[in-house]
Amino acid sequence: MAIRDDLITQITTNTAFTSNVSVSQELPFESGGSPLYNKNMGTVYVDEQQISVEQLYRTLDQSNVNTTTTTVNAYLSTDAKNEFNDIDTVVANLLIARNAVANTIDSTSDYEIEITDDVITYTFEYNFITV
């Protein structure tokens, strides 16, 4: 889980400036029917890696050259009534955490927002492509 570990380390570094956000080493399991990131607002949880392998091309000796896409999701929930003053900076710092992962030919990050009752959940998706 080297990519997950690298992301956790970089997210911890990138969010050290704010007292509102912490980073958990735990996976975002559910407890009592609710994900941990909803119970522990202000804590970033990084999920397990999901790996997908696709053939890039076949060589003359019938070998395959494959691309491997590793996807990792991270979650952060906040109270909608008391959202952080610097949430835009926190989101930007979580998005650029992807730069800490080395030996990739491409890396992307994106996020979605979901509002349920008075909880805002940010879901970050990191994609890393290697050959």
Query: Mind listing the pLDDT tens digit for each residue in 24-57?
Result: 999 988 888 888 998 999 999 999 999 999 888 8
What is this structure's pTM? 0.89
Give CA separation, 125 vs 66, 85, 97, 107, in Å. Answer: 22, 23, 11, 11
pLDDT tens-digit profile of 98-112?
999 998 999 999 999
CA gap 45, 98 in Å, rounded: 15
Hey, what domains does the chain have and what are their CATH numbers?
2-130 (3.30.70)
DSSP 86: T
Q: Does residue 1 have a pLDDT over 70?
A: no
